[in-house]
Copies of this chain bind each other. A is one copy, B any other.
């Protein structure tokens, strides 16, 4: 990678973080390029799709979440592990406003740049869920996809002004529905 290319890449990423923090996941890509003092073509070469850009912004968060799932699976009780991980997961997805629809869509689209991260996270959650189910402390009629859907829905509520303030409480309610004791 050429030196100037890397410079632009890094600068774009940093600028994108700001712009996305302000305007959410549907932020204008033109705006990102403008504020990074870079041509639109440059942005699109480094990040061919919006998903690619968002993936670059979220990759570290997502990796931490899957790592944390595995760690919790060893150090905490099945119930605690699920509770904590669900909370962190929702918090992670709430990092970027408006990303939940993209994540859910990416689940079914192998071409999406977000696909891999999402599938990995779903699997990590599924392991925690299975552990709790084996112990008898989680509903049997749920799978990893269901858990992911619930996380997405709760993160979605956290994004909306009308429901953001209650999202935390609703997370508790839903968690209590997943757990059987």
Contacts and interface: CB of A to CB of B under 8 A. Distances in A.
Contacts of A162: 104-105, 107-108, 145, 149
A139 B107 contact: no
Interface string A136-178: 0001011001100110111011001111001101100110111
Interface residues on A, range: 20 to 34
Q: Taking chain A's interface residues, is the majority helix, strand, or loop, or is none over half, making it mixed?
A: helix
Contacts of A145: 162-163, 166
Contacts of A163: 104, 145, 149, 152
A31 B172 CA distance: 43
A152 B105 CA distance: 18
Contacts of A160: 101, 104-105
Contacts of A174: 174, 177
A147 to B, nearest CB: 10
Contacts of A139: 173
Interface string A37-51: 000000000000000
A101 B105 CA distance: 16
Contact of A105 (B104, B153, B161, B178): B161
Given A153-B153, A153-B157, 17 more contacts: A104-B160, A104-B162, A105-B160, A105-B162, A107-B162, A108-B161, A108-B162, A139-B173, A141-B169, A145-B163, A146-B166, A146-B170, A149-B162, A150-B170, A152-B163, A174-B174, A176-B177
Interface of A: 101, 104-105, 107-108, 139, 141-142, 145-146, 149-150, 152-154, 156-157, 160-163, 166-167, 169-170, 173-174, 176-178
